[in-house]
Amino acid sequence: MVVMIKAVLFDFSGTLFRLEEDESWFAGIAVDEREVDGHVQAELMRRLTAPTGRSVQMSDEQYHAWVNRDLAPHLHREAYLHVLRESGLADHHAVELYERVIDPDSWTAYPDTATVLKTLKQQGIKTAVVSNIAFDIRPAFAAIGAKDDVDEFVLSFEVGAVKPNAAIFTTALDRLGVAAPDALMVGDSEEADGGAKAVGCRFALVDPLPTAERPDGLLTALTTSGIQA
């Protein structure tokens, strides 16, 4: 039996948008008093956008902030500033780079993001952005003219739950008024976003490639899942 998909839940980072650094971000910044080169830039960005485990030494208190960083803005700031300082950045440079991370204008939309959201809206398929994040990302969608095409923003720091906790997915489904079997979760993390499968949603994995290298990843994910986007 074919089940009609009535809603699509999307992850934010690495799925709809990607944090892609500009060379100017690192102008005048040194790591352990050495000028930042491309490899160091890449490692810093990895630690800021796709961290797994402890990338630097942490005390118990610092680890608590790290684990809970997406539940409260103050913990997010504390956790990432510690990572940047431990990575060799001077305090003022750590703050400067962190401010870039939480600025919605710093995030680049994937080429098909706006098109996909608009097309789903036109088809009457509901959408929600379900993200582990500690700052408001709505302005990033407004900047590409897509904010009104998203029905719900379910952000961890606003709802008090992080993926893969079932609560964040059920919150999104409840707000949309859609049953789990009728919903598709699209994200770049099998571990976090794939948690939607535990509540009964379908799941499509996308690769968090640079935006220039993934022109139609969202469209492909939806088509493969039976949605003509």
In a domain, residue 2? The reply is no
DSSP per position, 27-69: TT-EETTEE--HHHHHHHHHHHHS--S-SS---HHHHHHHHTG
Of the residues 72, 87, 105, the one at which a domain ends: 105
Starting at the earlier edge strand, list the strands of the sheet with 7-10: 152-155, 126-131, 7-10, 183-187, 202-205
The model carries a pTM of 0.92
Query: pLDDT tens-digit profile of 144-167?
Result: 999 999 999 999 999 999 999 999
Task: For residue 201, give its domain range.
Answer: 7-16+110-225
Count of structural domains, the chain: 2
User: Helix 91-101 crosses helix 38-49 at what angle (to 10 degrees)?
Assistant: 60
Residues 61 and 135 both lie in one domain: no
pLDDT at 1 over 50: no
How much is the pLDDT for 24? 83
Dihedral angle sign, alpha carbons of residues 48, 54, 55, 56:
positive
How much is the pLDDT for 4? 87
Residues 39 and 150 both lie in one domain: no
In a domain, residue 176? The reply is yes
Residues 182 and 135 both lie in one domain: yes
Query: pLDDT tens-digit profile of 90-117?
Result: 899 899 999 999 999 999 999 999 999 9
Of the residues 70, 89, 105, the one at which a domain ends: 105
Residues 126 and 171 both lie in one domain: yes
Residues 123 and 205 both lie in one domain: yes
Residues 118 and 209 both lie in one domain: yes
Residues 137 and 221 both lie in one domain: yes
Of the residues 105, 139, 156, the one at which a domain ends: 105
Query: pLDDT tens-digit profile of 177-192?
Result: 999 999 999 999 999 9
Residues 217 and 116 both lie in one domain: yes
How much is the pLDDT for 45? 83
HSE, CB side, 13 Å, CA atoms: give it for residue 29.
27
Residues 127 and 192 both lie in one domain: yes
How much is the pLDDT for 42? 81
Residues 92 and 140 both lie in one domain: no
What contacts 70, CB < 8 A, 6 or more positions away? 76, 132, 133, 134, 156, 157, 162
Q: Region 66-88: what's the mean pLDDT?
A: 93
In a domain, residue 1? The reply is no
Residues 141 and 184 both lie in one domain: yes
Q: Region 132-153: what's the mean pLDDT?
A: 97
From the list 103, 101, 102, 149, the residue with the least C-alpha distance to 129 is 149
Give CA torsion, residues 49, 121, 215, 154, to 10 deg. 10
Residues 89 and 160 both lie in one domain: no
Q: Region 221-225: what's the mean pLDDT?
A: 95
